[in-house]
């Protein structure tokens, strides 16, 4: 199977509205102005040999294989670099051209190892194809001259190899790294015959700046850069188009397969979120799906001290249902609940919340968005009327000023980061608001015009100060506000932000950001200029805001989201291309899990459970009488468990023990419950407290849809059958049936049909349509375009008039004190993902094998801490120990860590402080002390012992010896049924 079974048109699509007509080999062809002759020919079905051209990159014109003849022009121009012109008559075949092309190929082949039969790219090599296409039969120069055949391979990258002996110096990899990825890790070193591709300063790939996105590998026409999986397994035989299951960018992929084995994941050219690009996670880190740690047999146990017993699906499901019914009979209907998974498909999430509402008969359902973007739901709902990003990712190419707040796209949303960097290289201005000096502040060929390096917890002060400048310097779009927003709210907001106490100067002390910088940033966002005295020009400046968990995971997370929405409305930056407010969603389907009714107060489509008309619709469709009272949120479930009222939990694909704040509190709550059912692919941290384990399926085994941060609904297609024999939706259905609430879906498509029938914003969504169009964006119904809505709030806001909300700054309760003098903030790295359950089981750990604590050199020196030292971090919640990374990326007074490894215990430190409106935990601000230590914390020692015991109890499920002894050890640990 060929790497790109899609047609490669050689040069990118021109988006010009004007067309030109020319003749190619006598055939009339009409193409958009700016199209290359090569692309025009290929579009007309005329193939032109090429090596250095590919349609994802700008033409380069180096290989001279694509020569053509054009009537009235001298010579033989390269068709890839020659624009098509009206009236041109092009000839792609002639004896002269054939001879020239053969000559080019002879030169390449004379310096190429002729090991085609044993080469990993045999059958998937453009050099081989071109030798065939030009009819090369002989190499006049022989193979004995100077050559590069002895150059050493670079095998340092775990996923791809670089064999310079096979390089034809076409420059495609260098251009891919620059244009597509924006990392600029590769150069052509040496000159003439000596020239070769080299990462960084002639370093191995792993030591260079390379971030292993694979763009160069995809672009390489030979076996020079090649996936090791292909070298090991041979070429794939078929492919399945699907969607990445890591982050909210939602990249489209072709899973290239051999039987049921993945050979490689190739980013899908027609995937609208990624357009053929990917990052190291989606592209390479899929090996976890068949990792030996996968649990594929259902298991049960009476108590968490017992060894697990492997049982049939039927027994596990009946046992779980029996326990839930017993608990409800004993403690009341509301004593059980469930958590839906943002890693699972829309269809799976929909079924879990349906089971809870219809079979449990309460609304105790929540999702991990509680701990990430619930303030987005609240904040954008209040101001705009709906809880979702306003744009497509592609829209950023029309932005003039880009404001990135509390987000680190290079690490967490890498494919979007590549688009954003491209736009900045084209001249857009960038403002970064972040406590850390993230890569965008000063990266390769990208520099922020302003970096507002605020103190953690001061977001609302900064956003209000920006608004102050916009209003008091007359930079707002008064006409937009008058036409599109609620009058009264505008008046009140203008008066509020204009107050002197909301000025950048007044906030300087709390935010730590110099007032002049805030003023310059406000001017830049509103007008495209930083200087004072600039007014709004005639041309509308497009200001786009992208934000992440650095906005939401705060005590004032919802206030900050509303502050962002206020700023966008005040400057007229909502409702067209290049502008908007865009939350960068964390998990692959966090948007979908929210859309599907995962919150305790909302039915699918964000309709409040107390609405009689909506409930009546669901009552009729589901044949039940829904409870009108909102149920418990996740933190309330924990509190209720500790007070003895909440006893049973169905936890679907979510590792709350590792991901939720205050680990010890979560663990105590779980130990207080009587039945915890975990459905997951691994024995995660939460499963160690479970009584029933239902094996889940990885994205490669799933059939359904994911919804990304653009509201784009894409298909997830099954590449291999579920390893456990049941898909997640089938398991949920079986549990519901065992609970006595019948479900009888034949396939996920039927579930989507029900969702569409019951959810107005999904009314036009169908598998048939997604198949035809590639993807659709909600709202998608009779009042939108067929493919749904690319840009939200175009003529009016979803709620009618936009509403400004006052954003009173309230300092966080998490304040530095003498006892806890530093502020801890948390985030992610590129190579690991969230709780790390997947990426830790791949070679991605070669980039990041442990969580470290970043600390500023001054703070480190004060405490006698050196780079790599073990340090204890203590907050009012708990204590853990990590190794220090001394770096000026963090400011003095701030420390930072990731939370990808359970043993790090980052969430042992985080507290119960949370967003006032949504309970989203304040992960980004925890007051801590950091001191050098010599041994793990007591929590870490307990964790290690508990982990070992739990692992051995699973081994018991497989009949391993020692299970009974392990059970005894487990019983010695305190608490827990
Ligand atoms: S893998 Fe990506 S970052 Fe690394 S050299 Fe290739 S294109 Fe550049
Ligand atoms: S490594 Fe591949 S893409 Fe890069 S110059 Fe060599 S042949 Fe071309
Ligand atoms: S950017 Fe996100 S969706 Fe795309 S490949 Fe990477 S992890 Fe997957
Ligand atoms: S493909 Fe045109 S010069 Fe290489």
* Percentage of the residues of the chain whose pLDDT score is greater than 70: 95
Residue 767: the pLDDT is 97
Q: Which of 730, 738, 650 lies closest to 366, judged by CA?
A: 650
Report the DSSP pairing between strands 822-827 and 926-932: antiparallel
Q: Read off the pLDDT band of 576 (50, 70, 90).
A: very high
Residue 371: the pLDDT is 67
Site residues for ligand 1, CB cut-off 6 Å: 176-177, 181, 183, 185-186, 199, 210-216
**Which ligand 4 atom is at minimum distance from the Cα of 10?**
1
> Among 454-458, 491-495, 541-545, 622-626, which stretch is predicted with the lowest mean pLDDT?
454-458
Q: From residue 740, give the alpha-carbon distance in Å to each of 239, 244, 349, 360, 737.
A: 40, 35, 20, 10, 5
> Among 86-90, 137-141, 511-515, 545-549, which stretch is predicted with the lowest mean pLDDT?
137-141
Ligand nearest, relative to CA of residue 246: 3
| DSSP letter string, 524-539 | HHHHS--STT----SS
Residue 941: the pLDDT is 85
User: Which of 373-387, 470-484, 654-668 holds the top average pLDDT?
Assistant: 470-484
Phi, psi of 309 (to 5 degrees): -115, 125
Ligand nearest, relative to CA of residue 66: 4
Q: Give me the chain's average pLDDT, please.
A: 89
> Is the model more confident about 922 or about 260?
260
**Which ligand 1 atom is at minimum distance from the Cα of 214?**
1
Rounded to an integer, the average pLDDT of 456-475 is: 94
Rounded to an integer, the average pLDDT of 178-193 is: 86
Q: Which of 727, 653, 728, 719 lies closest to 687, judged by CA?
A: 653
Residue 142: the pLDDT is 55
Q: Is the pLDDT of residue 372 over 50?
A: yes
Phi, psi of 543 (to 5 degrees): -110, 125
377 class by beta-carbon count within 10 Å (0-12 exposed, 13-18 middle, 19+ buried): buried
Residue 147: the pLDDT is 61
Q: Is the pLDDT of residue 727 over 70?
A: yes
Q: Is the pLDDT of residue 741 over 70?
A: yes
Q: How far apart are CA 62 and CA 53, in angstroms?
A: 9
Separation of CA 127 and ligand 1 centre (Å): 21
Half-sphere exposure of 321 (CA within 13 A, CB side): 20
Q: How far apart are CA 625 and CA 621, in angstroms?
A: 10
Rounded to an integer, the average pLDDT of 383-388 is: 88
Q: Is the pLDDT of residue 228 over 50?
A: yes
Residue 201: the pLDDT is 80
Q: Is the pLDDT of residue 91 over 70?
A: yes
**Which ligand 1 atom is at minimum distance from the Cα of 280?**
1
**Which ligand 1 atom is at minimum distance from the Cα of 177?**
7
Rounded to an integer, the average pLDDT of 311-321 is: 96
Q: How far apart are CA 641 and CA 365, in angstroms?
A: 15
* pLDDT tens digits, 816-850: 888 999 988 888 777 777 777 788 888 888 888 88
Sheet holding 704-707, edge to edge: 704-707, 712-716, 775-777
Phi, psi of 87 (to 5 degrees): 85, -5
What pTM, to 2 d.p., does this model score? 0.91
Q: Is the pLDDT of residue 44 over 90?
A: yes
Separation of CA 172 and ligand 1 centre (Å): 11
Residue 962: the pLDDT is 37
Ligand nearest, relative to CA of residue 706: 3
Q: Is the pLDDT of residue 243 over 90?
A: yes
Site residues for ligand 2, CB cut-off 6 Å: 167-173, 197, 219-222, 224-225
Rounded to an integer, the average pLDDT of 107-126 is: 79
* pLDDT tens digits, 917-966: 777 777 778 889 999 988 778 888 888 888 889 988 887 555 443 333 33
> Among 618-622, 764-768, 926-930, which stretch is predicted with the lowest mean pLDDT?
926-930
> Is the model more confident about 359 or about 140?
359
For residue 177, what are its two tokens?
Answer: 């790294």
Q: How far apart are CA 90 and CA 205, in angstroms?
A: 42
> Is the model more confident about 128 or about 524?
524
Rounded to an integer, the average pLDDT of 897-909 is: 79
Nearest residue CA, atom 8 of ligand 2?
A: 170
The sign one gets for the Cα dihedral 620, 624, 625, 628 is negative
Q: Which of 550, 579, 544 lies closest to 430, judged by CA?
A: 544
Half-sphere exposure of 796 (CA within 13 A, CB side): 6
> Among 13-27, 130-144, 339-353, 854-868, which stretch is predicted with the lowest mean pLDDT?
130-144
Nearest residue CA, atom 3 of ligand 4?
A: 61
> Is the model more confident about 134 or about 229?
229
Identify whether the C-beta of residue 578 lies closer than 8 Å to the C-beta of residue 396. Answer: yes
Identify whether the C-beta of residue 146 lies closer than 8 Å to the C-beta of residue 193. Answer: yes
Identify whether the C-beta of residue 133 lies closer than 8 Å to the C-beta of residue 47. Answer: yes
Please enumerate in sequence order all residues whose Cβ is within 8 A of that of 900, keeping only pairs 6 or more positions apart, or say none. Answer: 828, 829, 832, 833, 834, 835, 836, 839, 840, 848, 851
Q: How far apart are CA 280 and CA 748, in angstroms?
A: 29
């Amino acid at each position: 199977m060929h790497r790109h079974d899609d047609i490669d048109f050689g040069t990118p699509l021109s988006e010009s509205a004007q067309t030109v007509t020319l003749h190619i080999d006598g055939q009339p062809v009409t193409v958009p102005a700016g199209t290359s002759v090569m692309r025009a020919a290929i579009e007309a079905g005329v193939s032109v040999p090429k090596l250095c051209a590919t349609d994802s990159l700008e033409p380069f014109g180096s290989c001279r294989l694509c020569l053509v003849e054009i009537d009235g022009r001298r010579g033989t121009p390269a068709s890839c670099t020659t624009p098509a012109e009206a009236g041109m008559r092009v000839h792609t075949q002639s004896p002269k051209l054939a001879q020239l092309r053969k000559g080019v190929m002879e030169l390449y082949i004379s310096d190429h190892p002729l090991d085609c039969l044993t080469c990993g790219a045999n059958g998937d090599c453009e050099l081989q194809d071109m030798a065939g296409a030009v009819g090369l039969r002989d190499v006049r120069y022989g193979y004995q001259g100077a050559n590069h055949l002895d150059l050493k391979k670079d095998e340092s990258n775990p996923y791809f190899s670089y064999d310079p002996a096979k390089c034809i110096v076409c420059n495609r990899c260098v251009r891919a790294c620059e244009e597509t990825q924006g990392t600029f890790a590769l150069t052509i070193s040496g000159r003439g015959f000596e020239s070769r591709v080299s990462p960084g300063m002639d370093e191995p790939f792993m030591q260079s700046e390379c971030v292993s996105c694979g763009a160069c590998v995809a672009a390489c026409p030979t076996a020079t850069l090649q996936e090791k999986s292909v070298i090991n397994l041979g070429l794939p035989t078929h492919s399945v188009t699907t969607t990445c299951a890591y982050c909210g960018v939602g990249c489209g992929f072709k899973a290239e397969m051999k039987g049921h084995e993945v050979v490689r994941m190739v980013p899908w050219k027609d995937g609208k979120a990624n357009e053929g690009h990917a990052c190291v996670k989606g592209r390479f880190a899929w090996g976890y799906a068949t990792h030996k740690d996968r649990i594929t047999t259902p298991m049960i146990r009476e108590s968490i001290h017992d060894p697990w017993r492997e049982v049939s699906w039927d027994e596990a499901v009946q046992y779980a249902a029996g326990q839930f019914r017993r608990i409800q009979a004993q403690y009341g209907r509301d004593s059980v609940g469930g958590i839906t998974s943002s890693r699972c498909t829309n269809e799976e999430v929909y079924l879990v919340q349906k089971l809870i509402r219809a079979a449990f008969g309460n609304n105790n359902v929540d999702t991990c968005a509680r701990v990430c973007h619930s303030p987005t739901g609240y904040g954008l709902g209040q101001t705009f009327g709906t809880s979702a990003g306003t744009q497509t990712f592609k829209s950023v190419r029309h932005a003039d000023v880009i404001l990135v707040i509390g987000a680190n796209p290079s690490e967490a949303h890498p494919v979007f980061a590549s688009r954003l960097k491209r736009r900045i290289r084209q001249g857009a201005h960038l403002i970064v608001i972040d406590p850390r000096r993230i890569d965008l502040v000063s990266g390769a060929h990208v520099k922020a015009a302003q970096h507002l390096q605020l103190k953690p917890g001061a977001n609302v002060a900064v956003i209000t100060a920006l608004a102050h400048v916009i209003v008091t310097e007359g930079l707002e779009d008064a006409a937009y506000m008058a036409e599109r927003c609620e009058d009264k709210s505008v008046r009140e907001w203008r008066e509020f932000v204009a107050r002197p106490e909301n000025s950048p100067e007044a906030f300087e002390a709390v935010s730590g950001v110099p007032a002049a910088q805030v003023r310059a940033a406000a001017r830049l966002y509103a007008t495209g200029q930083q200087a004072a005295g600039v007014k709004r020009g005639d041309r509308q400046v497009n200001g786009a805001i992208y934000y992440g968990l650095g906005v939401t995971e705060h005590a004032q997370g919802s206030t900050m989201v509303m502050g962002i929405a206020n700023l966008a409305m005040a400057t007229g930056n909502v409702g067209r291309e290049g502008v908007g407010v865009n939350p960068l969603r964390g998990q692959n389907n966090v948007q979908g899990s929210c859309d599907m009714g995962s919150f305790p107060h909302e039915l699918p489509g964000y309709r409040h459970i107390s609405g009689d008309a909506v409930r009546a619709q669901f009552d009729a469709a589901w044949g039940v009488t829904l409870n009108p009272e909102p149920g418990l949120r996740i933190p309330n479930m924990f509190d209720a468990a500790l007070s003895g009222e909440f006893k049973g939990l169905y936890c679907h694909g979510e590792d709350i023990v590792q991901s939720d704040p205050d680990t010890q509190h979560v663990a105590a709550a779980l130990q207080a419950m009587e039945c915890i059912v975990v459905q997951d692919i691994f024995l995660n941290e939460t499963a160690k407290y479970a009584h029933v384990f239902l094996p889940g399926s990885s994205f490669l085994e799933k059939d359904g849809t994911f919804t990304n941060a653009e509201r784009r609904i894409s298909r997830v297609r099954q590449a291999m059958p579920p390893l456990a024999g049941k898909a997640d939706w089938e398991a949920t259905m079986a549990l519901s049936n065992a609970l006595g609430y019948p479900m009888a879906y034949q396939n996920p498509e039927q579930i989507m049909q029900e969702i569409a029938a019951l959810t107005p914003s999904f009314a036009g969504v169908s598998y048939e349509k997604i198949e035809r169009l590639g993807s659709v964006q909600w709202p998608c119904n009779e009042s939108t375009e067929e493919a749904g809505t690319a840009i939200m709030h175009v003529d009016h806001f979803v709620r009618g008039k936009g509403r400004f909300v006052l954003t009173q700054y309230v300092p966080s309760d998490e304040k530095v004190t003498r006892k806890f003098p530093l502020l801890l903030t948390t985030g992610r790295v590129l190579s690991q993902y969230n709780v790390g359950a997947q990426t830790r089981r791949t070679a991605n750990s070669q980039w990041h094998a442990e969580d470290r604590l970043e600390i500023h050199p001054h703070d480190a020196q004060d405490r006698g801490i050196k780079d790599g030292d073990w340090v204890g971090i203590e907050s009012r919640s708990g204590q853990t120990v990590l190794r220090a990374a001394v770096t000026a990326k963090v400011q003095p007074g701030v420390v930072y860590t990731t939370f990808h490894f359970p043993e790090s215990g980052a969430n042992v430190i985080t507290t119960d402080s949370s967003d006032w409106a949504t309970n989203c935990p304040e992960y980004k601000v925890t007051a801590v002390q950091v001191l050098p230590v010599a041994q793990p914390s007591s929590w870490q020692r307990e964790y290690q012992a508990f982990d070992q015991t739990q692992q051995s109890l699973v081994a018991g499920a497989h009949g391993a010896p020692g299970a009974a002894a392990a059970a005894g050890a487990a019983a010695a640990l305190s608490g827990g049924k």
